[in-house]
Structure 1
Amino acid sequence: MPVSVTMPRLGESVTEGTVTRWLKQEGERVEADEPLLEVSTDKVDTEIPSPAAGVLSRIVVGEDETADVGSELAIIAGDGEDAGSAAPAPAAPAKEEAAAEEAAPEPAAPETPSTEKPVEQEAPAPAAQTGGGEGIAVKMPALGESVTEGTVTRWLKQVGDTVEADEPLLEVSTDKVDTEIPSPVAGTVLEIKVPEDETVEVGADLAIIGAPGGAATEAPKPDPAPQQAAEPAPKQAAPAPQQQSAPLVESKPAPAPAPAAEAPAPAQAAAPAAEKVSANGAGDAGYVTPLVRKLAAEKGVDLSSVTGTGVGGRIRKQDVIEAADRAAAAKAAPAPAKQEAAAPAAKPAASPLRGRTEKLTRIRATIARRMVESLHVSAQLTTVVEVDITKVANLRSKAKVAFQAKHGAKLTFMPFLALAAVEALREHPVVNSSIDQEAGTVTYHDGEHLAIAVDTPKGLVVPVIRDAGDLNLAGLAKRIADVAERTRNNKISPDELSGGTFTLTNTGSRGALFDTPIINQPQVGILGTGAVVKRAVVVDDPNLGELIVPRSMIYLALSYDHRIVDGADAARFLVTMKDRLEAGQFEGDLGLSS
């Protein structure tokens, strides 16, 4: 029996979603759990799998339309209902096919019924022609619950260009997401209503696409001369009253050769380009998001050489990152042999952004506004301590290979720092609190929900590890690696981006010694961890006295809300972390003997 596909709940606070792309069309077969459509909310973009195997008999919610959680999106017919599933979708064509089937057996017997049937068969022809000539408006979709407008950043097609159904047509930027808008139908771009860098409200017309319907034979029809397309119509219409059976035989072959003769030319011309795009997903016409293009430009990756692993061969951010890593490894291998010869000629490559002036993206503008608001809302101060983590570094060197083999996650310094932080939060709950100055209250949270700042092409995204205080070293290592990977690949769920009580940001991942991070409201503390570097340090040896030896050192910078956290509170928190890390007693967590 038919199965209904409904809009799932994609987060605790998400009440609706927008269908951005159907991966299957009416009449196509789909397997259980196979991706069926793509949905966008104000927090996440994701794919919705099919709940059952069968045939997609009807699409209820079209692309760029918004539906409430739990509402019906489509209907999947059972395996034995393939024939019936295709008929209900287009009602008008079903009636025409039924009329044609009734007409087919009758002309063979008497000639009088055949004189009536040609009239019925000629009636749909003008309707198809008028439908093919009407323009379909491409509208600005709702790309989030709170998004009311968007900016056209780039047109991927120009007036006169042909476009296929679901092929990317333009790029749009909002304050939450940069995305591509696909064409709702196949045809020709007749008019572009909104130029690049112009902002319009949701629902506004962006462009007009001619020759809707998406059929391969309909797309070339507007291309031939209008006189040739117009001539067959009067010829068929004029003889119809005089010879009704003859025009049926002549009218069908007449249009058939014309598209057959003309269609191969554009099809063959477009075939090589289509093959190149489908092979790697790159190029101006390929389905590559602006974020991926920007990341590829920053890392110097040629998209034409990258094989996409996404839906339909689409290139994802991870594909670009892996390609950049492979290129870096390839360059590093021959470097030692030719280092002396290549050193004098080596020059840093100039960034493609050098000398350019670009409009501020909405996402960056939103981040900027929230950072300024955070500074205005709270009284922020930063305290820094220096920590000797030589013992941690030695333990990590001994255990990292076995740790990765056992737990499937790399043993970085981050899990050690996170474990020391959540233990210190439990001892100093004032740093793990939130303040409501209007109500005159402070809430000391009953759990350590650790937010981890993750660097992505669109900016810092902060997923949350809930109840991080209940995890051991291995659990934190796996959870940190998991949320970081899913955040960079846009697979993190909306519920995982809220509810944090304290934030940890690894500013040392790019070599910074320390910084003064800005608090993630409504939290009252954020810890920045600097780079681990070896320096000559004076140590007090009980037998030899003061010695200068190389040690692995790190700076920990705590920014806190001075309205509720005093300087002494911040210092006590940092010293607790310092003592825990310098003691280096993590052998039990790593399975090593003390």
Structure 2
Amino acid sequence: MATFTFNMPDVGEGVAEAEVVEWHVKVGDRVEEDQHLVDVMTDKATIDIESPVAGVVTQLAGAVGDTIAIGAMLLVIETEGEATPAEAEAAAGQIEDDMSDADGADGQADQPLPVGEEVGDGGSAPEPSLVPAVSEPTPLPPAPKGAGEVKVLASPAVRQRARDLGIDLAQVRPAEDGRVRHGDLDAFLAYNAGSGFGAAGKARGDETIKVIGLRKRIAQNMAAAKRHIPHFTYVEECDVTDLEVLRAQLNEGRGERPKLTMLPLLITAICKVIPQFPMINARYDDEANVVTRYGAVHLGMAAQTDSGLMVPVIRDAQAKNLWQLAREIGRLAEAARSGKATSEELSGSTLTVTSLGPLGGVATTPVINRPEVAIIGPNRIVERPMFVSDGMGGERIAKRKLMNISISCDHRVVDGHDAASFIQGVKRLIESPALLLVD
């Protein structure tokens, strides 16, 4: 028998360490060559590491969430033959080859994303384990004693229930033999239903959740964005009644084409206005003090997944029509849900749109997807009475569909006047939707 120490392989250029996301083996398990051992996450991507030898696992380097340096011991396997260093080098070389496509990614898969209607699970990070904290039951305090005290007979369970409900047992009339029972409490509650008795809910045990994987990256990126970027948010109300009519008409005759949601229409409006405000479609390198203004709009769609927020990217959104945008949104959504989105599809955005769909609320203050300088958040569509022209020089009240649009900007790069003017330009197109179809 021989002992084989498998060190953390070099998983990509410039990566110095990796975080353990999920172990697929435990001490004592028999593993075969090329068997999946562990998932680790770097700044680039999540990587599956396989065993270079067969044998029995005798030692693991750390628990889920621990960080292991490249070249440090990952696990130890007891083998039947002699393990050679060449085997470990070959395994590390294979992993490095598999990661060659991910080296150019800038890690935006870990950036926030919310478009509620579009994207699903990225599949790269496991659900965090929940460890319930066991709490000792709180003993009942001793009953106060006094000269005028009325002694009430009741079991400890009945006393505890009365305490939870905020009921003074002295006010409860027992049905028999002077002892208050649960049935007596039920009758008291029924008779005093309007008096506010009754628990608002049941207590739950505390839970400790270890922040790992994609959720940890999101936490780091959000903290960095708020720490480094001076945000400001501007919100404008838009009348989307006519836009919704146009959308319904287009969907009626769409044939085999994908169904249009509000998002392709909003993206079209954004792309038409962007050339007038190039500072909105930009990135800021705050270390080099350089702003790069992009000619093409690579639009990120912030999306909530089971693993956390992700940002699939629509490349060259300005070059696509409504149907092409709708199809690309659907394709990226499916790729994210199935965990097949590539690093290229999850990186390189120059501007992000984030939406909570029907949960969008009245207004939002979205956090910028660093190093971008702006993020746009459409909110929920609501119906309200509004004064509109009656066509004869007067006004009438009509039911209209309204939607607020929020934009958060990096105040180091974007001035308030520019942000407001940009959203006003988008509003004009949204409220005159025929202009969206004009080149």
TM-score above 0.5, yes or no: yes
1:386 counterpart residue number: 237
Shift of 1:442: 5.2
1:158 counterpart residue number: 26
In 2, Cα distance between equivalents of 1:500 and 1:367: 16
The correspondence for 1:294, drawn from 113, 127, 137, is: 127
Q: Please show how residues 244-393 of structure 1 align to structure 2 within 5 Å.
A: 291=124, 294=127, 355-393=206-244
Pair 1:422–1:518, CA change in 2 (3 A):
same
In 1, Cα distance between equivalents of 2:211 and 2:366: 22
1:341 counterpart residue number: none
| 1:446 maps to 2:279 | no
Cα displacement string for residues 146-177 of structure 1 (whole angstroms, at most 9, x for unaligned residues): 43223445544333332333333344454555
1:255 counterpart residue number: none
Contact 2:273–2:425 (CA<8 Å) still a contact in 1?
yes
Shift of 1:578: 1.0
Cα displacement string for residues 488-539 of structure 1 (whole angstroms, at most 9, x for unaligned residues): 4343443444443322222335443431112223332211111223334443
| 1:206 maps to 2:74 | yes
Pair 1:537–1:572, CA change in 2 (3 A):
same
1:525 counterpart residue number: 374
Cα displacement string for residues 104-130 of structure 1 (whole angstroms, at most 9, x for unaligned residues): xxxxxxxxxxxxxxxxxxxxxxxxxxx
The correspondence for 1:167, drawn from 24, 32, 35, is: 35
In 2, Cα distance between equivalents of 1:432 and 1:356: 42
The correspondence for 1:406, drawn from 247, 253, 256, is: 256
| Structure index of larger Rg | 1
Cα displacement string for residues 393-431 of structure 1 (whole angstroms, at most 9, x for unaligned residues): 22222332542x333x23111000000011111222232
2:58 counterpart residue number: 190
Whichever residue aligns with residue 294 of structure 1, its letter is E
Shift of 1:390: 1.4
In 1, Cα distance between equivalents of 2:22 and 2:35: 14
Cα displacement string for residues 348-378 of structure 1 (whole angstroms, at most 9, x for unaligned residues): xx9xx98321222143333333333333433
1:572 counterpart residue number: 421
Give me the TM-score of the superposition, normalised by structure 2. Answer: 0.63
In 1, Cα distance between equivalents of 2:205 and 2:10: 34
The correspondence for 2:326, drawn from 477, 487, 502, is: 477
2:313 counterpart residue number: 464
Shift of 1:197: 4.9
Contact 1:185–1:212 (CA<8 Å) still a contact in 2?
no
Q: How many equivalent pairs are there? A: 326
Shift of 1:475: 2.2
In 2, Cα distance between equivalents of 1:354 and 1:468: 48
Pair 1:457–1:540, CA change in 2 (3 A):
same
Contact 1:387–1:581 (CA<8 Å) still a contact in 2?
yes
Cα displacement string for residues 202-238 of structure 1 (whole angstroms, at most 9, x for unaligned residues): 232233333458xxxxxxxxxxxxxxxxxxxxxxxxx
In 2, Cα distance between equivalents of 1:292 and 1:498: 17
Q: Does the residue aligned with 1:429 lie in a helix, a strand or coil?
A: coil
Q: Does the residue aligned with 2:256 lie in a helix, a strand or coil?
A: helix
Give me the TM-score of the superposition, normalised by structure 1. Answer: 0.48
Whichever residue aligns with residue 460 of structure 1, its letter is L
Pair 1:518–1:185, CA change in 2 (3 A):
same
| 1:584 maps to 2:433 | yes
In 2, Cα distance between equivalents of 1:464 and 1:417: 15
1:558 counterpart residue number: 407
In 1, Cα distance between equivalents of 2:23 and 2:347: 34
In 1, Cα distance between equivalents of 2:353 and 2:63: 42
Q: Does the residue aligned with 1:532 lie in a helix, a strand or coil?
A: strand
Contact 2:285–2:371 (CA<8 Å) still a contact in 1?
no
2:116 counterpart residue number: none
What are the ranges of 5 or more consecutive residues in structure 2 without an aligned counterpart?
82-121, 131-201
Shift of 1:381: 0.7
Contact 1:426–1:448 (CA<8 Å) still a contact in 2?
no
In 2, Cα distance between equivalents of 1:354 and 1:141: 40
Pair 1:483–1:186, CA change in 2 (3 A):
same
Pair 1:354–1:180, CA change in 2 (3 A):
farther
Pair 1:139–1:524, CA change in 2 (3 A):
same
Q: Does the residue aligned with 1:363 lie in a helix, a strand or coil?
A: helix
In 2, Cα distance between equivalents of 1:170 and 1:466: 33
Contact 1:291–1:457 (CA<8 Å) still a contact in 2?
no
1:136 counterpart residue number: 4
Q: Does the residue aligned with 1:207 lie in a helix, a strand or coil?
A: strand
Shift of 1:293: 5.4
Pair 1:294–1:179, CA change in 2 (3 A):
farther
Pair 1:381–1:454, CA change in 2 (3 A):
same
Cα displacement string for residues 80-115 of structure 1 (whole angstroms, at most 9, x for unaligned residues): xxxxxxxxxxxxxxxxxxxxxxxxxxxxxxxxxxxx
In 1, Cα distance between equivalents of 2:273 and 2:331: 24
Shift of 1:541: 2.8
Contact 2:129–2:210 (CA<8 Å) still a contact in 1?
no
Shift of 1:580: 0.7
Whichever residue aligns with residue 554 of structure 1, its letter is M
Q: Please show how residues 496-535 of structure 1 align to structure 2 within 5 Å.
A: 496-508=345-357, 510-535=359-384
In 2, Cα distance between equivalents of 1:548 and 1:457: 44
Contact 1:173–1:361 (CA<8 Å) still a contact in 2?
no
Whichever residue aligns with residue 525 of structure 1, its letter is A
Q: Does the residue aligned with 2:34 lie in a helix, a strand or coil?
A: coil
2:104 counterpart residue number: none
Shift of 1:384: 0.3
Percent identity of equivalent pairs: 36
Cα displacement string for residues 321-342 of structure 1 (whole angstroms, at most 9, x for unaligned residues): xxxxxxxxxxxxxxxxxxxxxx
Contact 1:503–1:527 (CA<8 Å) still a contact in 2?
yes
Whichever residue aligns with residue 57 of structure 2, its letter is V
Cα displacement string for residues 61-81 of structure 1 (whole angstroms, at most 9, x for unaligned residues): xxxxxxxxxxxxxxxxxxxxx
The correspondence for 2:16, drawn from 117, 142, 148, is: 148
Shift of 1:564: 3.3
Name which structure has the greater RCO, CA cutoff 8 Å, separation 6+. 2
Pair 1:365–1:588, CA change in 2 (3 A):
closer
In 1, Cα distance between equivalents of 2:332 and 2:123: 23
In 2, Cα distance between equivalents of 1:468 and 1:200: 40
Contact 2:21–2:213 (CA<8 Å) still a contact in 1?
no
What are the ranges of 5 or more consecutive residues in structure 1 without an aligned counterpart?
1-132, 214-288, 298-349, 590-594
Whichever residue aligns with residue 367 of structure 1, its letter is I
In 1, Cα distance between equivalents of 2:25 and 2:427: 58
In 2, Cα distance between equivalents of 1:438 and 1:414: 34
In 2, Cα distance between equivalents of 1:194 and 1:292: 17
2:266 counterpart residue number: 417
Shift of 1:468: 2.0
